Structure 1
Amino acid sequence: MALIELERVRHLLVCPRCRSTLADARGGLHCTSPDCPYQASAGFPVSGRWPVLVDFERSVLSREEVATGAGTDLTRPIPAGRADRLPAALARVWKPPNRVAPQNVDLLLRALPGPAPTLLVVGGATAGNGVDAVYRDPRVQVIGFDIVASPMTQFVADAHQVPLPSASVDAVLVQAVLEHVLDPALVVAEIHRVLRDGGLVYAETPFLQQVHAGAYDFTRFTASGHRYLFRRFEELAAGPVAGPGTQLLWSTDHLVRGLTRSDLAGRVARGLMCWLRILDRLVPASYAMDDAPAYYFLGRKRDAEMSAAEIVAYYRGAQTTA
């Protein structure tokens, strides 16, 4: 795995509130700026081996949860999902491989500069679907963080305030994360900030997808809305992650769950109707743009941003206006 050791990342970490450098303190880290509220010796705690670099006054994660272990246990590795515990053949039915991510990640990796580029994974507590190549490439130096701790992360942080300096990484991967943050535009602004000039971003974000993660699911984007979210990036590739067949399959799953009040019944229905995904291949791209479960975006950092007129003209779906 290309994940950088915490000791090698430590010198990059900054205060999430004011971005000043950090210093060691008993039981954690503190900000070195005398004007920062996190300058006190109890500024940022450590949970297990993970520094918790969160501005608690502006986050869904509280200091009390970290201190008492309430809510999510930060020191406990995230358990494998149901699909990961199934035999390979059944796992592919329940959680089919993402067919667009490997292609786009390959484009991302080939576009990275230099012999040892740095790639930041936002929400990296678990490996995303189809992005394994990021962790297998010996050339890439991976930094990962999430709101929960994981063997695949070096620190805990809130994506609204990334505790890294400006222009410090070459690429960012943010897959199935932006629906779980309160202010996606602020998170994308943080991604833009930490990227070096010409840095790359790869994102996948839901559109027609049912609520997941319960109370921590907030937002959905159309294709045009997703593009405008990344308006300060040059588009290299963008499109639907899957099509209407997949969306119908997920809706069937949740319809059966609602009728039967049983998650198991929904999962069984999803397995029996898995052939619906094949229909994605029969749907033209323009129609898929209007009815996709999720969209991807691969882009390069720039200073200029799209105008209102440009985003209206960007629409690639099948609908026409009179």
Structure 2
Amino acid sequence: MALIELDRIERLLMCPRCRSPLNAARDAFCCTSPECPHHASAGFPVIGGWPVLVDFERSVLRREDFADGAGRTGQNPLGRVSRLPRPLRRLWKPSNRVAARNIDVLMRSLPGSAPTLLVIGGGTVGNGVDAVYRDRRVQVIAFDLVGSPVTQFVADAHHIPLPTASVDGVLVQAVLEHVLDPALVVAEAHRVLKSDGLVYAETPFLQQVHAGPYDFTRFTASGHRYLFRGFEELAAGPVAGPGTQLLWSVDHLVRGLTRSAFAGRVARLLLCWLRALDRLVPAPYAMDDATAYYFLGRRREGEMSASEIVAYYGGAQRKA
């Protein structure tokens, strides 16, 4: 796996409050700035092997989540789906070919012999992005709100504890709906990227609530593009279309009628063929009724204007 060992990235880690360097000790990381509240010896604790680099005063995370020595870091990163038999797993969650195609482009476009890729919300290996972890050329740094075998530290994406212009690429798949301020998180991605750095993102549009209280927002195609207005677009579009969106709706309709998540999952498996309808829908209509959108872009200094985003719309409701 291409995940960098923690001791090799310790020199990159910085305070999420003041962005000063950190001093590493056996059981904590401390801010080097005497004026910073995190300069105290307690600093940022190392829990279960993961440095918890979170400024709790500015985060949805609570210090109590980690008070017992494990917090939420003990979660199984593979989740319930991984326990299904392989044929059912493929029906429930088929391979994300859109992500795989775009990740291939991203990986081939990263510069140099050992580019660094930051995975935001990387507590699990995302669907269709596993090539990132197989490529020995790419050096992967990953964090999440929980620790897992595929993360080096715990952090809040609103305040990424890495220096400005320190990575060559950023991957943020199915994460921005779970943050309170997506624009701030994208701004942080923009900050940590080098001048020609690349970003790949996937974010829901028409999906029901998942992750309960940690699910906050959705984006249309135009809204998603404007979120990444500080980037040049290399590719963008739906991850999945109206058929997949209908499958999500049927699943949650059955859940509501039966008060049973299990019944919804069964309905989803029985009607998995609805995904095939995505192929029959013309692109402009799919743009208006997608379950999620992707964006592949290159960092730039200027921003897309308000008038440009109105002209950007490419759905079926365009004026003749």
TM range (shorter): over 0.9
Match of 2:72 in 1: 73
Give the distance between the partners of 1:271 and 1:173, measured in 2 at CA. Answer: 29
Q: 1:156 aligned to 2:154?
A: yes
The aligned counterpart of 2:217 is 219
Alignment match, 1:186: 184
What residue in structure 2 maps to residue 2 of structure 1? 2
Alignment correspondent of 2:117: 119
Residue 60 of structure 1 corresponds to 60
Deviation at 1:15, TM superposition (A): 0.4
For residue 45 of structure 1, what is the aligned residue in structure 2?
45
Task: Specify the alignment match of 1:34 in structure 2.
Answer: 34
1:26 is displaced (CA, Å) by: 6.7
What's the secondary structure of 2:67's corresponding residue?
helix
Match of residue 311 from structure 2: 313
The equivalent residue for 2:272 is 274
How far did 1:78 drift?
Answer: 2.1
Q: Which residue identity lines up with residue 209 of structure 1 in the other structure?
A: Q
Indicate the larger mover: 79-88 or 1-10: 79-88
CA distance in 1, matches of 2:231, 2:77: 35
Q: Indicate how the Cα distance of structure 1 residues 175 and 136 shifts in structure 2: closer, same or farther if over 3 A, else same.
A: same
CA distance in 1, matches of 2:276, 2:246: 11
Give the counterpart letter for 2:72 in structure 1. Answer: D
Change beyond 3 A, Cα 1:177–1:79: closer
Counterpart contact for 1:175–1:205, Cα < 8 Å: yes
Aligned 8 A contact 1:25 1:41 in 2:
no
Counterpart of 1:252 in structure 2 is: 250
Q: Which moved more, 1:56-65 or 1:76-85?
A: 76-85
Q: 1:210 — aligned with what?
A: 208
Query: 1:19-51 CA distances to partner (integer Å, 9 max, x unpaired)?
Result: 101113573111011111111111111111111
Q: Deviations over 1:98-143 (max 9, x none)?
A: 1200000000001010000000000000000000100001100000
Alignment check: 8 A CA contact 1:108 1:202 kept: yes
Please give the secondary structure, in 2, of the residue aligned with 1:68.
coil
**DSSP-derived class of the 1:186 partner:** helix
Aligned-partner SS, 1:296: strand
- With normalisation by structure 1, the TM-score equals 0.97
What is the alpha-carbon root mean square deviation over aligned residues? 1.2
| Kept in 1: contact 2:47–2:69 (CA 8 A) | no
TM-superposed deviation, 1:79: 4.7
Amino acid corresponding to residue 160 of structure 2 in structure 1: V
* CA distance in 2 between partners of 1:100 and 1:129 (Å): 10
The answer as to whether partners of 2:124 and 2:150 remain within 8 angstroms in 1 is: yes
Tell me the alpha carbon deviations over residues 116-171 of structure 1, each in whole angstroms, 9 at most, x when there is no partner. 00000000000000001000011000000001000100000000000000000000
For residues 171 and 256 of structure 2, the distance between their equivalents in structure 1, rounded to whole angstroms, comes to: 34
Structure 1: segments with no counterpart, 5+ residues: none
Give me the whole-angstrom Cα distance separating, in 2, the residues matched to 1:27 and 1:104. 39
Find the counterpart in structure 1 of residue 23 from structure 2: 23
Higher mean C-alpha displacement, 160-169 vs 16-25: 16-25
Residue 231 of structure 1 is aligned with which of 218, 229, 233? 229
Closer, same or farther: CA 152–63 of 1 in aligned 2, 3 Å: same
Matched residues in 2 for 1:25 and 1:99: separation?
43
What's the offset of the Cα at 1:90?
A: 1.2
Q: Which amino acid aligns with 1:14?
A: M
Specify whether residues 193 and 79 from structure 1 end up closer, same or farther in structure 2 by C-alpha distance, changes over 3 A only: closer
Equivalent-residue separation in structure 1 for 2:201 and 2:24 (angstroms):
34
Aligned-partner residue type, residue 54 of structure 1 = V
- How many residue pairs get aligned? The number is 320
1:57-113 Cα shifts (integer Å, max 9, x gaps): 00011222212358x532x14253232112221111111111200000000001010
Amino acid at match of 2:39: Q
- C-alpha offsets along residues 273-316 of structure 1, whole Å, 9 cap, x if unaligned? 11110000000111000000000000000001000000000001
